[in-house]
Structure 1
């Protein structure tokens, strides 16, 4: 999922069983109702996408766990489309992801259909008011200082950790080739739960020690820049690649 300050995320939490798990219409209705009222011809198309003029501005997904269901989605209001396009453009020679692929489609920002001074904060408040007005008894909840402290602690202990951000990532194969003054270097890695399980390095470089020694040093390491840099800095790279610098070789692992 791509996210920047021009994108607003929303999330609905409910008990599992109260709604059809495959039906995305119930919890996208408030969004569509609000946008239609504002003159935006938005609609739910396909299973879980919100489109306007044939262009996607919202993708939605669901999660069921412990008897509860969460439906969450995105609202592209004024995102940096060039950055978004580059972020979603995977290099086929770099990552071969074993996760489910998402269908790519044309995307657009809602700002083209709303007043230019509409911000994510304005859109958030409008959507909140829409939800409250159609749900008797619902009210806005403001986070307390205690809530904020708990959130910050949870961020540090869980969501900012390597295990959470990379350890649960889908298994993938990484491939990258670079050209340095010492020659051509091509790296192939099989990564499982963020850790390198297999490593092969090819190239036309000349050095006195077998490259298999370096490959063995990479096994079990995290596919993460800081850890791989520490491995490369702990050895004499000229023994494996000839005259190279750590920064040059690091490029092959990014």
Structure 2
């Protein structure tokens, strides 16, 4: 345990609301604060909402986690923290709690959210062993992940208010893809929108309630409360932000950072076995000695799977 400081030592606190709905801008902003801000005796809550996207954890395999559909305008992002895959849209609120590492305590953050839901809308929740916020200890309304460095740390989580659960289910539904990997694998959960529990709830009101509870959570007369501030992720305000965003958008980060894996591609009585490292096919062989050498050193993708199947079919 490393809680050498208490929240009573916090001297400054504020709530920031991102004006962007771009997942790469918001993830870049989050990482910028993690890298550049001094959280010694300070704490910060960043609130942000994204357009439709799927966000995988730092150590996950996108081809195992996401069901791709070229007809849908859904982007894929890989975040800096660990944990499982989540779906974002404008019915989902993202919260990032920043502190010095010595003050990191995500259980307190989750309890603050649970208290806000109970006091404002009489929604009773529980925090399970995985530190998800649940309804009736069954339906998940919030997933959680974190990144701990030195000196800074953050804990971020989602809140499902009124997201497209049908689209979420289709995008994240598991299919057997014959992949062998040591990558972090998401644990499927039953989910529910807060709007389905209490129709009066809204994202705007939730931002206000949680923000105020956060600002009032530290009872210290010496703490300066900077209140709510809207911010736009911008290179002029946050020097170096564009470089972070470009890295997060790159193929090398989203796909090339995938842990090494093996995949078996089958077509009727034919099969091919490929080893993929850093998103690139390192080695491939077939059951019937079909020559697939042209696929070596090629970026792996769903389209490549179909091309390999075509070669198996014509052999």
Deviations 1:69-97 (A, max 9, x none): 11111111222223323333322234333
C-alpha distance in structure 1 between counterparts of 2:239 and 2:227, whole Å: 23
Partner of 2:273: 188
Query: What CA deviation, in whole Å up to 9, does each residue of 1:53-83 have, x standing for no partner?
Result: 1211111122112322111111112222233
Cα gap change, 1:125 to 1:173, in 2 (>3 Å)? farther
Paired position in structure 1 for 2:215: 132
Q: Among residues 248, 254, 259, which one is paired with 1:165 in the alignment?
A: 254
User: Which structure's relative contact order is higher, taking Cα pairs within 8 Å and 6+ residues apart?
Assistant: 2
2:294 and 2:192 mapped to 1: Cα distance?
46
Counterpart secondary structure, 2:229: coil
- Number of equivalent positions: 218
RMSD: 3.0
TM-score in terms of structure 1 length: 0.72
Q: Distance in 2 between matches of 1:241 and 1:47?
A: 45
Equivalent in the alignment of 1:35: 117
Q: Deviations over 1:15-39 (max 9, x none)?
A: 11234xxx53111122111101121
CA shift in 2, pair 1:81/1:4, >3 Å: same
Task: Provide the rounded CA distance (Å) in 1 between the counterparts of 2:207 and 2:262.
Answer: 39
Q: Compute the TM-score of the two structures, normalised by the length of structure 2.
A: 0.59
Match of 1:252 in 2: none
Q: CA deviation at 1:148?
A: 7.8
Q: Measure how far apart 1:185 and its partner are.
A: 5.5
Runs of at least 4 residues off by over 6 Å: none
Correspondence for 1:248: none
Secondary structure of 1:40's counterpart equals coil
Task: Please list every run of 5 or more consecutive structure 2 residues that lacks an aligned counterpart in the other structure.
Answer: 1-84
For 2:15, the equivalent position in structure 1 comes to none
Question: Given the alignment of the two structures, is residue 7 of structure 1 paired with residue 84 of structure 2, yes or no?
Answer: no
Q: CA deviation at 1:143?
A: 1.8
Structure 1 residue runs without a partner (length 5+): 204-209, 244-254
1:147-195 alpha-carbon deviations (Å, 9 max, x no partner): 489645542x21110011111122222233346xxxx654432212211
Secondary structure of the residue aligned to 1:35 is helix
Where does residue 197 of structure 1 map in the other structure?
A: 282
How far residue 51 of structure 1 moved from its aligned partner, in angstroms, is 0.7
Q: Please say if 1:115 is aligned against 2:192.
A: no
The residue that corresponds to 1:247 in the other structure is: none
1:207-250 per-position Cα deviation (integer Å, ceiling 9, x unaligned): xxx732xx222222211367x59xx6xxxx88x8549xxxxxxx
2:229 alignment counterpart: 141
In structure 2, what is the Cα distance between the partners aligned to 1:102 and 1:225? 20
- Secondary structure at 2:88's aligned position in 1? coil
Deviation of 1:202 (Å): 4.6
Report if aligned partners of 1:194, 1:223 keep a CA contact under 8 Å in 2: yes
Work out which of the two has the higher radius of gyration on C-alpha atoms and give 1 or 2.
1
1:45 to 101, 109, 128: 128
CA distance in 1, matches of 2:111, 2:298: 46
